[in-house]
Structure 1
Amino acid sequence: MKKVNIGGVPEHFNLAWYLTLKNGEYKNEGINLRWKDYYGGTGAMCKALREGEIDIAVILTEGITKDIIAGNPSKIVQTFVETPLHWGIHVAHKSPYKSIEELKGTKAAISRYGSGSHLMAYINAQNNSWNLETDLNFEVIKNLDGAVEGLTAGKADYFLWEKYTTKPLVDNGTFRRIGNCPSPWPCFVIAVREDFIKHNKADLKTILNIINNTTAEFKAIPSIDKTIANRYEQQIEDVQEWLDMTEWSQKNIDKTTLINVQKQLFALNIIPEIVDYEALTYHLD
């Protein structure tokens, strides 16, 4: 049986992977797919791809685009979630800051440099016409638990993270959410190490077919809202709102979208150049 290592964030977006694994769908096709949760997010997964710790990552579009350009030997083989990610802008409950404008020049908590929380802090700054050199400061906190500790202790002032994942922390009074910052592109893609693609095309096709069949009908799964609410400790009404606004994809990211992602990252000096579409993607036959 072929062993394949895959990583992703432990969030509701990836429940379809859990369901297909639980049902033994990959093992039925001779594939031992091993899932690993990456609490450190995109930066941690980029590192894992580079080091061969995982073969496949379900990862933020902007983060993997930046890292492939920086030398990560991987390719985007498919969009996973078509809709934007809705990032909440959070402060500690007792923070004096009440608005996004007041955060100008303060310190953003980020999981690591090159992560989604890092890149989206730039997008938020651009949206609010801040000076990207003088109005942005960072504190590395590794993960969501680190953000709770960092904001509560005053090591950092604000933190961008997917707003439904952090909603329980808002509900229990750990954080206050003072704004939102949607990503201006499809949020999650599936990236695969080039070496794995080269030697395992058939297995990769099988894996993608299984997950795509599930995501295509994900919203029609009986009581899926209750399943998500229970598993991820969220309010049912929040889950229903999230399901209404989220669309999965079964196709590769299109050229226009990926050029737009690069243009924005280049304008923010996050990437040194805009590369060809083919340098970032691989289309399975």
Structure 2
Amino acid sequence: MKNFIIGGVPEHFNLPWYIALRDKDFQQQGIKLRWKDYPGGTGQMASALREKEIDMAVILTEGIVRDIINGNDCKIVQVFVKSPLLWGIHVAANSNYETVSDLKGTNAAISRFGSGSHLMAFVNAETLDWDLKNDLRFKEIKDLEGALAGLPLGKGDYFMWEKFMTKPYVDNGIFRLIGESPTPWPSFVIAVNNEVLENEKESVQAILKVINGITENFKNIPNIDAMISQRYGLEIQDVQEWLSLTEWSNRQLKKEELELIQQKLLELDLIEHKTQENNILHNF
């Protein structure tokens, strides 16, 4: 039995992995796959990949592209969620900020530097034509729990996180949603450590075959909306809206998508140079 550890955020996007693990689908392929939650998100997972604490990760596309360019010894093997991620822009319910333009020059609460919340603050600022050097400031808060505790106390002025996962905290009056910022590229990819890719290629392919089989029919699983609602504490109508907007994938990142991401990261001074496609993508 081959042993693998995969990391991901404990969110609704990754429920297909839970189902596969619950049903022992990987074990039937001779693979012992263990899931590890990373509530801190992309920055935390990128660090875990670098340190070889995990073999694989389901991770935000722009975050892992940036980290690979900056020396992370892994590659993207496929897109996992091809639809954009819809980032909500949140403030504390008791704050005086009413519009996204009010946030110019304030502190963005981010899980950590290099995280999706960090990178998307830049994308959002560029969209609004802010000065990226003078109008963006950051306060590290580790994760969603850190934002829930910190924002009402003034530890950061706004917080960007996936809109549907934060919806319960908008509904209960901790956050106010004042804007949205979708990614202009596929949201999640699967990245694998290069040593694992070299030595365990067939096992990685088997893992992908299992998970892609589940995502292909995920929306047709009976009562899947109720299961997501119960597991993640979301209202059923919010789950149904999210399902209607979300598309999983088994394809590799397209050349033009990778070029767009690299160009955007370069424009935002988040990388110093672009790199060749084969340094980032692995095609079986």
Deviation at 1:233, TM superposition (A): 0.4
Paired position in structure 2 for 1:223: 223
Find the aligned partners of 2:43 and 2:30 in 1 and give their Cα distance.
31
SS of the aligned residue for 1:251 comes to coil
Q: How does 1:65-80 map to 2 (within 5 A)?
A: 65-80=65-80
Paired position in structure 1 for 2:189: 189
SS of the aligned residue for 1:204 comes to helix
Asked whether 1:245 is paired with 2:245, we answer yes
SS of the aligned residue for 1:242 comes to helix
When the two structures are superposed, what TM-score results if normalisation uses the length of structure 1? 0.99
Paired position in structure 2 for 1:60: 60
Paired position in structure 2 for 1:273: 273
Find the aligned partners of 1:58 and 1:216 in 2 and give their Cα distance.
17
When the two structures are superposed, what TM-score results if normalisation uses the length of structure 2? 0.99
Paired position in structure 1 for 2:105: 105
Deviation at 1:38, TM superposition (A): 0.2
Asked whether 1:234 is paired with 2:231, we answer no
Deviation at 1:281, TM superposition (A): 0.6
- Matched to 2:223, the amino acid is S
Question: Structure 1, unaligned stretches of length 5 or more?
Answer: none
Find the aligned partners of 1:115 and 1:250 in 2 and give their Cα distance.
24
Question: Structure 2, unaligned stretches of length 5 or more?
Answer: none
- Matched to 2:194, the amino acid is E
Paired position in structure 2 for 1:92: 92
Find the aligned partners of 1:73 and 1:274 in 2 and give their Cα distance.
16
- Matched to 2:283, the amino acid is H
Deviation at 1:274, TM superposition (A): 1.2
Find the aligned partners of 2:149 and 2:133 in 1 and give their Cα distance.
26
Deviation at 1:180, TM superposition (A): 0.2
Asked whether 1:259 is paired with 2:228, we answer no
Paired position in structure 2 for 1:140: 140
Find the aligned partners of 1:2 and 1:279 in 2 and give their Cα distance.
26
Asked whether 1:167 is paired with 2:170, we answer no
Cα deviation 1:54-75 (Å, max 9, x = unaligned): 0000000000000000000000
Paired position in structure 2 for 1:124: 124
Runs of 4+ in 1 over 4 A off after TM superposition: none
Deviation at 1:12, TM superposition (A): 0.2
SS of the aligned residue for 1:186 comes to coil
Paired position in structure 2 for 1:180: 180
Paired position in structure 2 for 1:32: 32
Cα deviation 1:71-110 (Å, max 9, x = unaligned): 0000000000000000000000100000000000000000
Deviation at 1:243, TM superposition (A): 0.4
Cα deviation 1:100-159 (Å, max 9, x = unaligned): 000000000000000000000000100100000000000000000111122011021000
Find the aligned partners of 1:218 and 1:273 in 2 and give their Cα distance.
38
